[in-house]
Structure 1
Amino acid sequence: MSATNDDILRRLDRIESRDEIRQLISKYSLALDMRDLDAMANLFVPDVKAGRDRSGREAFRDWLDDTMRKQFDGTSHHVGTTIIELTGPDEAVGIVYSKNEHETGPEWVIMQMMYYDHYKRVDGRWCFARRQPLYWYATDLNKPPIGARKMRWPGREPYDGSFHALFPSWKEYWDRSGPTEGAIAEPAPLEEFIETMRRGQTLSGIRVR
């Protein structure tokens, strides 16, 4: 059966949407590292949350300015593994790995994390609806983060990150002593790989930005 014009247009839109979202992700890194906070704010939806009790792009820009100025002399964000799934004509979710470097006073802090993203198309352009950071480790470049409480920022007590919190398979893997018993699970439906891996796992208490 040949594809209809509508089918072709929908497929093209999916391809173009994924490409635009990948560009959005990379633009985030460049705008943040170059401290172009107007460019950064414009990557988010107009009613983006800024802290606990404010919203809007201007408020977000000002909140980010204060946050970055207080904590970092310089940063570099390196995007890695990326999965983007369209959940509707104008909505999508994504998992994005990021390896980051931070100059913070006398220490050089390296970090491994992922973002759990929600994207929304507004006036024909894809934007971040929110980015939920999930951290594995942060430590001075010369201090490997071996052991527990891998988040080790200067001037703070070490604490656990949330790198594995979104996916129950991590804990299940270490809770059992060998391979999973029984038949292998069915493959995830198209555009539902992330949500299938989540299996309804919530992230209460994890900061959203």
Structure 2
Amino acid sequence: MSDELALLTEIRDRLEQLESRDEIRQLISKYSIALDMRDMDAMANLFEPDVKVGKNARGRQALRDWLDDTMRKQFDGTSHHVGTTVIEFIDRDNAVGIVYSKNEHETGPEWVIMQMMYYDHYVRIDGRWCFRRRQPLYWYATDLNKPPIGSRKMRWPGREPYEGSFHELFPSWKEFWARSGASETPIAEPAPLEQFIETMRRGNEVAGNRVR
């Protein structure tokens, strides 16, 4: 391959990745709008056709029906605000992401605010990016007028408080609080390009909270 052809190929690949990143960001925002506007068809169509739903079900219709039931029973209204977002590519058709979300929920007589993040897997099918799965990781949920100081920050009306899993995907949180001062180990090498999330995760998994 000539140097000129190699350069053109590199430029093409870079442009494709930029377009893919923008499309995935749009996908993330579309999720928030579809969920908040209760368009369950639009919501379900953001996921891969064979999306896993719960333990035994699969497919967009199963996801749509599950979401319809969940949102109808739990919330009068919601607003999801997307924040910090990192998207990294595994290959041309697969990517992972971390997405912060600050959410508001009208639930009966109480207004519950929540801070969480999603650990996402994206896949490109027939030229379009969609969610393969979204794994929600929670920090807190509480009535608007009751700051969630202390442990068990997930505080929904009518439920006992419980711990979320906001920090569990990344081992650094527990390691930070387990030592009394600065780390005595040599500083780690910078993460390879497109592997920041996976380098931080270090193979860690979080049980439960499987997405939708």
**Band of TM-score, shorter chain:** over 0.9
- Paired residues, number: 209
Instruction: Tell me which residue corresponds to 2:151.
Output: 148
1:106 counterpart residue number: 109
SS of 1:52 mapped into structure 2: coil
Which residues in structure 2 correspond to 1:1-209 (within 5 Å)?
3-209=6-212
Larger mean Cα displacement after TM superposition, 180-189 or 103-112: 180-189
Give the partner amino acid of 1:61. R
Deviation at 1:97, TM superposition (A): 0.1
Contact 2:53 2:59 in 1 (8 A): yes
2:23 aligned partner, one-letter code: E
Identity score, percent: 78
Give the deviation of 1:78 after TM superposition. Answer: 0.1
Contact 1:117 1:131 in 2 (8 A): yes
Cα distance in 2 for partners of 1:182, 1:207 equals: 34
SS class of match (1:142) = coil
Distance across 2 between alignment mates of 1:150 and 1:204: 18
1:203 Cα deviation from its structure 2 partner? 1.2
Task: Letter of the 1:198 partner, please give it.
Answer: R
CA shift for structure 1 position 54: 1.1
Q: CA RMSD in A?
A: 1.1
8 A Cα contact 1:51 1:63, kept in partner? no
Amino acid at match of 1:137: Y
Secondary structure in structure 1 of the residue aligned to 2:27? helix
SS in 2 for 1:99: strand
SS of 1:202's equivalent? coil
TM-score (norm: length of structure 2): 0.96
Deviation at 1:204, TM superposition (A): 2.3
Give unpaired runs (5+ residues) of structure 1.
none
- Taking the aligned partners of 1:201 and 1:133, their CA distance within structure 2 comes to 15
- Unaligned 5+ segments in structure 2 are none
- The CA distance in 1 between the partners of 2:156 and 2:55, in whole Å, is 23
Deviation string, structure 1 residues 100-127 (Cα, Å, up to 9, x no partner): 0000000000000000000000110000
